[in-house]
Every structure is written in C-alpha cells, then in structure tokens.
A = this chain, B = another copy of it.
C-alpha cells in the first residue's frame, strides 16, 4: 500500500476556505474511489492556514486513478486561487496498522 502526506499552505487568512474545499474533496474521494483506503483532512494547530492530508491507496494503480478523477480536477480548480504555493507531497510505503490490504483478512471495523 502507498501512504501520502500532503501539505497545503493557504494564502494568509484563507485557511477556512481551504479547509472547506478539502472537506469537499474528502467526501468525493471516499465516495468514489474504492482504491483509496483512507483519506483524512487535518489542520495545523500552530498555523490555521496549513492543512495536512493523510491518504492511503491500495496500490500505484489506485493512486494513478485518484489523480485522473474528474473531482481531482474540480478540486484543483478551487484550490488554485487559495493556496500560497504548490502542495508538498511525500510518498511512503504503508506497512501495517489499521488498514487491512485488499484481499487480506476482514475489512477494517471500528468498535464504536
């Protein structure tokens, strides 16, 4: 599996608007991309204009599919006027923990 940490830096004072766009992105990704196993939008506690994303994809094909989705372009268009710099994206190998790789064992279940 592939883990992504992405950092988005809003123009000064645009953090709330950026957060709203990325929450819309999260809803679209989780609804339409079965190969995206996890997608969570977080906000810095020290700089309200910084949004960080945690993402996990089943494999490279799922990550490639993510970047060609219609909603990826839609969100990109909304982001462009809000961000101060291109997103910083770090790509990792996701090894173990809460996410069960597709085809291995039972799906993730929460106890809540």
Interface residues of A (CB under 8 A from B): 3, 5, 19, 22-23, 26-27, 29-30, 34, 37-45, 52, 54, 56, 58, 91-100, 102-103, 107-112
- Are B43 and A96 interface neighbours, CB within 8 A? no
Known: A3-B52, A54-B3. A41 touches B95 (CB 8 A): yes
In the bound complex, residues from chain B placing their C-beta under 8 Å from that of A5 are 5, 52, 54
Known: A5-B52, A107-B110. A98 touches B39 (CB 8 A): yes
- Smallest CB separation, A16 vs chain B (Å): 11
- Are A92 and B37 interface neighbours, CB within 8 A? no
In the bound complex, residues from chain B placing their C-beta under 8 Å from that of A22 are 96
